[in-house]
Structure 1
């Protein structure tokens, strides 16, 4: 046993290989992220025009990136795409959080037996919600 190495118990796992994305592929993915889902009645050309406005690139350049026709992507273009994609993700995350809060508020109103009409009334624009009709002042003592 002295000169012999122990028998292997199995294959050793291969190290995780790094995924390398080309600049063209990353740029196309960023354009897709910035465009987001198509809006009702919108076509791809309209979505790419929105991406062009968000990034400051011209329409033809954005369409070239989308269709994988761009031979190379300059660093300033990549920076613009990454910045716009970060903003698009942040906006979408904020919308998702707003939807979640509104869903929770609706569930709470339903659990308390309140209808949607109870929320109607003057709205403070700074807060987004105003006093309801059934709210009472503390000093009235009712």
Structure 2
């Protein structure tokens, strides 16, 4: 019969170091950010959206799919920061596009009012 090494007692092989894992609420927020990006790109199809979001956030397609299905158990601080920054950039880009469209519509309104 094989015994358990005293060094391994109480240690699971896949345990993540506590210092690098973030809280459950951060994992939920992380998944929500990824899911919102997938929803915004869903017009190209779900698989295509997974690929685009993975590329945009620097994640694997499998990680994005896990977020979509709310299967992510832990998130590292680095992963959280990268996704948060890239989500902010994506929202700012969309905001600029919408502001441009509004400006174009206002120009058309000014033109029709003068005619």
Using the size of structure 1 for normalisation, the TM-score is 0.59
Structure 1 residues not aligned, in runs of 5+: 1-20, 114-142
Alignment check: 8 A CA contact 1:24 1:65 kept = no
Deviation at 1:39, TM superposition (A): 5.2
Q: 2:29 aligns with which of 17, 26, 34?
A: 26
Q: Would the alpha carbon gap of residues 87 and 100 (structure 1) be closer, same or farther in structure 2, given more than 3 Å must change? A: same
Deviation at 1:86, TM superposition (A): 0.3
User: How many pairs does the alignment contain?
Assistant: 93
Deviation at 1:36, TM superposition (A): 4.8
When the two chains are superposed, the root-mean-square deviation of aligned CA atoms in Å is: 1.9
- Report 1 or 2 for greater relative contact order, CA contacts < 8 Å, sequence distance ≥ 6: 2
Question: Are 2:29 and 1:37 aligned?
Answer: no
Using the size of structure 2 for normalisation, the TM-score is 0.71
Higher Rg of the two aligned structures: 1
Q: Which residue of 1 aligns with 2:5?
A: none
Query: Secondary structure at 1:71's aligned position in 2?
Result: coil
Q: Which residue of 2 aligns with 1:126?
A: none
Cα separation, 2, equivalents of 1:101 and 1:35: 28
Q: 1:84 aligns with which of 58, 71, 86?
A: 86
* Deviation digits for residues 77-132 of structure 1 (CA, Å, limit 9, x no counterpart): 1111101110111011101101110010010111122xxxxxxxxxxxxxxxxxxx
Q: Which residue of 2 aligns with 1:73?
A: 75
Cα separation, 1, equivalents of 2:105 and 2:87: 27
